[in-house]
Amino acid sequence: MVHEMKQITTRKIVGRFELVTFPDFIKLGTIKAKIDTGAYTGALHCTKILEEETVSGKVLRFSPFDHPEIEMTMTDFAVKHVRSSNGESQSRYFINTAIKVQGHIYPIVLSLADRSEMKWPVLIGRRFLRTHNFLVDVSRVG
């Protein structure tokens, strides 16, 4: 019997939770994110999410986490329908940003949602994990 040789790739291992930072949101510091393989995309807790039409085009304004005094402005965003964990479909804004995990910076797509009723302000979904070759070790806590 001939065995196929598989290419060995180096996977980065994350735990159920990881300490992360967002370089685009410098003032926020380090945040504990939940690694959620049940979610396709990641989510970022935001308040005051508002889309505005300006002279130069559409702009998305939001306050990340529980910092109403910080207002972020982005022109690179999309609106998509998602099904939340409770099964309801809703429209959400998606942004492209960067996340720092274990000392390395990666691009990430995140939906913006008011997660004030949720335990974790940041979810990292399987799309990000697969794209960047992460393996989840559930016995490891970040």
**pLDDT mean over 137-142:** 80
- pLDDT for the residue 140: 82
Contact 140, 20 (CB under 8 A): no
Q: Give this prediction's pTM.
A: 0.84
- pLDDT for the residue 25: 81
pLDDT at 64 over 60: yes
Backbone angles phi, psi at 23, to 5 degrees: -55, -30
Structure tokens that stand for 125 in this block = 């979904």
Contact 33, 106 (CB under 8 A): no
Structure tokens that stand for 14 in this block = 């994350």
- Between 100 and 10, whose confidence is greater? 100
Domains and CATH numbers, the chain: 12-45+78-136 (2.40.70.10)
pLDDT at 3 over 70: no
DSSP state of 38: T
**Distance between CA atoms of 20 and 65, rounded to whole angstroms?**
14
**pLDDT mean over 2-25:** 79
Backbone angles phi, psi at 51, to 5 degrees: -100, 130
pLDDT at 36 over 60: yes
DSSP state of 26: G
Structure tokens that stand for 55 in this block = 């002279």
pLDDT at 2 over 70: no
Q: What percent of the chain has pLDDT over 70?
A: 91
Q: Which residues contact 125 (CB under 8 A, 6 or more apart)?
A: 36, 37, 39, 40, 41, 42, 43
